[in-house]
Amino acid sequence: MSVKDRLDIKQLPEHMAIIMDGNGRWAKGKGFLRAIGHENGVSALRKTATECASIGIPYLTVYAFSSENWNRPKKEVDTLMTLLVSSLKKELKTLAKNNIRLSAIGNLQALPKKCLKELTEVMEQTKHHDRMTLTLALSYGSQDEIITATKAIAQQVADGKLAVNQIDQNIFSNNLFTAGMPAVDLLIRTSGEYRISNFLLWQIAYAELVFCPVLWPEFNENELHKVLLEFQQRERRFGKTSEQINS
């Protein structure tokens, strides 16, 4: 029986998130430029997103460019932004064919104008698709997101629209970029790094974490199935005892 056949289709994560790491090391290992690693990273994302939509995961959020990634050499940043524009143009077909809606979170205003324009267009053209929402985290940093939410809530209080004791988890969640999305159930990081790197800190509060050694350009449908199987073998207790969960 294949790994895919062993999956319980009723126990898939509702919201899966991925820190797509290892493009540079993959390229280096093959004697290629880092840019080639990023290009192959786009292919891995296409395969993964298509398979997620096909098996029935409603939300996939991927870390594509962090607020800290602006500190990379300018040449690499430029390459990534150019790749973003060309991939958005190229992948519109894939999104349409698979009924995937594209969304984005992060400090999008910091993106070059061309990127923002292309991104806005693809989001507009896919907004009626309802099989899966693919969210790109771009110029994204979770601590900044939390500060932005805090300021918005503070402003509502200052304007007399909200009382301090009304602030709860719901209000807070609804002021994050991910407002309206379910909490993350499963977070995957590739490339063997064991860190979160400022990604979705609030949203992963009770996520299952899976760290896989595979470098992102080598991630594919089979790797995804393996991670999902591992997820399905975990017991999510949410603070309760195992006995409570199983009764």
Where does this chain bind Mg ion (CB under 5 A)?
21
Cα atoms in the 13 Å half-sphere on the side-chain side of 227: 26
- Taking the CA atoms of 33, 35, 40 and 41 in sequence, report the sign of the dihedral they define: positive
189 or 225: CB nearest Mg ion: 189
User: By the 8 A CB rule, do 172 and 157 touch?
Assistant: no
> Is residue 4 near ligand IPE by the rule CB under 6 A?
no
> Is residue 24 near ligand IPE by the rule CB under 6 A?
yes
Q: How far is the C-alpha of 170 from the C-alpha of 115, rounded, in Å?
A: 32
69 part of the active site: yes
Give the burial class of 81: count Cβ atoms within 10 A of its Cβ; 0-12 exposed, 13-18 middle, 19 or more buried. middle
> Is residue 82 near ligand IPE by the rule CB under 6 A?
no
Q: Do strands 100-105 and 132-140 pair parallel, antiparallel, or not at all (unpaired)?
A: parallel
40 part of the active site: no
User: Which of 23, 87, 98, 133: binder of ligand IPE (CB under 6 A)?
Assistant: 23
Instruction: Name the catalytic one among 5, 8, 21, 168.
Output: 21
Q: From the CB of 72, what's the least distance to ligand IPE, in Å?
A: 8
User: Which of 36, 47, 69, 81: binder of ligand IPE (CB under 6 A)?
Assistant: 69
- Choose from ligand IPE, Mg ion, none: what does 19 bind? Cβ within 5-8 Å by kind: ligand IPE
> Binding to ligand IPE (CB under 6 A): which residues in 136-195?
191, 195
- Choose from Mg ion, ligand IPE, none: what does 135 bind? Cβ within 5-8 Å by kind: none
> Is residue 217 near ligand IPE by the rule CB under 6 A?
no
Instruction: Name the catalytic one among 69, 107, 198, 220.
Output: 69
Q: How far is the C-alpha of 228 from the C-alpha of 55, rounded, in Å?
A: 11
> What letter would DSSP give residue 117?
H
6 or 195: CB nearest ligand IPE: 195
- Choose from ligand IPE, Mg ion, none: what does 231 bind? Cβ within 5-8 Å by kind: none
Residue number with the shortest CB distance to ligand IPE?
24
At residue 137, what are phi and psi to the nearest 5 degrees? -90, 115
Q: From the CB of 110, what's the least distance to Mg ion, in Å?
A: 20
Look up residue 135 and give its two tokens: 């969210």
Give the burial class of 87: count Cβ atoms within 10 A of its Cβ; 0-12 exposed, 13-18 middle, 19 or more buried. buried
> Is residue 219 near ligand IPE by the rule CB under 6 A?
no
Contacts of 202 (CB under 8 A, 6+ apart): 142, 145, 146, 172, 173, 176
The footprint of ligand IPE (CB under 6 A) covers 19-25, 63-66, 68-69, 80, 191, 195, 197
